[in-house]
Amino acid sequence: MSTSPLESWIKTKIGISAQEPLTRGALESYQLHRLRETVEYARQHSPFYRSRLAEVRCEEIRAPEDIARLPFTTTAELLEDERRFLCVSQGEIERVVTIRSSGTTAPPKRLHFTAEDLELTVDFFHRGMSTMVKPGDRVLILMPGELPGSVGDLLVKGLRRMEVEGIVHGLVRDAGEVIERIVSEEIHCLVGLPVQVLALARHPDAARIPLGWLKSVLLSADHVPSSVVRVLTAAWGVRVFNHYGMTEMGLGGGVECRRLRGYHLREADLWFEVVDPESGRPLPDGEPGEVVFTTLTRRGMPLIRYRTGDRARFLPDPCSCGTVLRRLERVRGRLAGDIILAGGHRLNIAELDEVLFPLPFLLDYQAVVRSDDGRACLDIAIETTAAAGGEAPPLVRRALLEVRAVRRAVADGRLMLGAVGRDAFARSISIKRTVVDRRKEQ
């Protein structure tokens, strides 16, 4: 039997009996059928896609590679006027999610969901969470959940279906308070942002959570550094799962099985691709590129070949759990988060994470590239534990030189390592972290 509970769930959704095996052929046939339905539905009901897909002939979409005939949908188009994407009346919309980008003057992004769309997410959360919790467990949700239809609210509903209690705490403001709740309320599983859960593990009260107390941790909403996973595993002896999703997907896209080697995808509801970021050409398994998805069952606001801006690749080998579902490697950050330094050296947040988070005093950091007399300068603002001493800045500088792009740019004289300090740290309102490039602002 497959370790991933998504396989049996997807079999049911696409109409395969429990006695029959799920095959890639059967799944792709279902996806193609749903894709043709989605294209026709969007063309009939969405003003945006009525124009965009006017020349598309659905009957010509017969094989997975034929999806490349369809045009991409971009964030910029969504920002222009998301109402053009709607396929139902405003009265049928149950929830509107507004996403504001930190540090920009861009208009907010709004995603619209019907009650049926939200039910699809609850169902996915129910099935995906069954990998890491069992009936009677208690899950502390360190995500927004006060509003109906929010991620925490939907997760509580999904957990309830498997007789698991979901408790919404919200984002971590006071790590000591969260640790107290974990112990006093006998929490078995945590769901939260990577950096915020790391702050719990490095808090002075973290020793109150003995090895084995927590059964599992699910990290979501931002790319997950391997260095953070190692810290949490060592601190609590816990199995750390990764979830991949974004609001545009309906909050859920894929989750790891107990083998912890890539996301198994929500393939009955979403069609995933990895494409070359420059040419848009679909890439074969194993080659990294930009993640693109198409909704297959969304009513309110379907999206066709939506460019996520996330960097990942399909893993070519089957998962050892035995499922036929595709595996997407853990997302390695945002394409837009890459900073190009003079000389062609490329710097991104994922590389910095892997050298900085192993430092035992580090809780969070912000990286900023600015111009100093015509030369790039990398400043790092750090948030540290109370035990961090005066050695923190030099240790951060030493760690930065472990990143090849930084080391080479410094050696070439094209990059300076600037200030490393605690006073400059200011939390961003954006959940997704990135390297900030201020050179154009100067």
Looking at residue 103, what is its pLDDT? 46
The answer to whether residues 125 and 219 belong to one domain is yes
353 and 292 in contact (C-beta within 8 Å)?
A: no
Q: What is the CATH number of the domain that holds 50?
A: 3.40.50.12780
pLDDT at 374: 80
How is 346-370 classified by DSSP, letter by letter?
EE-HHHHHHHHTTSTTEEEEEEEEE
Rounded CA-CA distance 304/298 in Å is 11
Counting beta carbons within 10 angstroms of the beta carbon of residue 56, is it exposed (0 to 12), middle (13 to 18) or buried (19 or more)? middle
Residues of the domain holding 402: 338-441
The enclosing domain of 405 has a CATH number of 3.30.300.30
Q: Are residues 242 and 225 in the same domain?
A: yes
* Residues 6 or more apart in contact with residue 252 via CB below 8 angstroms: 121, 124, 125, 128, 243, 245, 266
Query: Are 70 and 95 in contact, with CB atoms under 8 Å apart?
Result: no
Domains: count for the chain:
2
7 and 114, same domain (yes or no):
yes
Phi and psi, residue 261, nearest 5°:
-130, 50
- The answer to whether residues 210 and 228 belong to one domain is yes
Q: Are residues 325 and 345 in the same domain?
A: no
Tokens of 106: 């861009």
Q: Which of 306, 331, 356 is the last residue of a domain?
A: 331
Residue 85 tokens, joined = 């994407």
Q: Are residues 213 and 278 in the same domain?
A: yes
**Which pLDDT value is given to residue 424?**
60
Answer yes or no: do 264 and 343 share one domain.
no
pTM: 0.92
Structure tokens at 393: 């800045």
- Is 278 in the same domain as 377? no
> Which of 275, 298, 331 is the last residue before a domain boundary?
331
Are residues 169 and 219 both part of a single domain? yes
Chain-centre distance of CA 286, in angstroms? Answer: 19
- Residue 423 has what pLDDT? 65
Q: What contacts 255, CB < 8 A, 6 or more positions away?
A: 6, 128, 131, 218, 241, 242, 243, 244, 263, 264
**Same structural domain, 178 and 296:** yes
Token digits of residue 185: 């309320």
Q: Contacts from 52-59 at CB under 8 Å and sequence distance 24+? A: 53/304
Residues 278 and 407 in one domain: no
Please tell me the predicted confidence (pLDDT) of residue 425: 60
DSSP 419-441: EEESTT----S-SS---EE-GGG
Where helices occur in 93-174 by DSSP H, the ranges are: 115-129, 151-160
Query: Would you say 73 and 304 are in contact if contact means Cβ atoms under 8 Å apart?
Result: yes
- Tokens 């005093």 belong to which residue? 361
pLDDT tens across the length of the chain (442 residues): 457 889 999 999 999 988 899 999 999 999 999 999 999 999 999 999 999 999 998 888 999 999 999 999 999 999 999 999 999 999 999 999 988 765 445 678 999 999 999 999 999 999 999 999 999 999 999 999 888 999 999 999 999 999 999 999 999 999 999 999 999 999 999 999 999 999 999 999 999 999 999 999 999 988 899 999 999 999 999 999 999 999 999 999 999 999 999 999 999 999 999 999 999 999 999 999 999 999 999 999 999 999 999 999 999 999 999 999 999 999 988 887 788 887 787 888 889 999 999 999 999 999 999 988 888 899 999 999 987 778 899 999 999 999 999 999 999 888 999 888 876 665 554 567 888 888 877 5
Same domain, 143 and 45: yes
At residue 429, the pLDDT reads 44
Among 331, 346, 378, residue at a domain's last position: 331
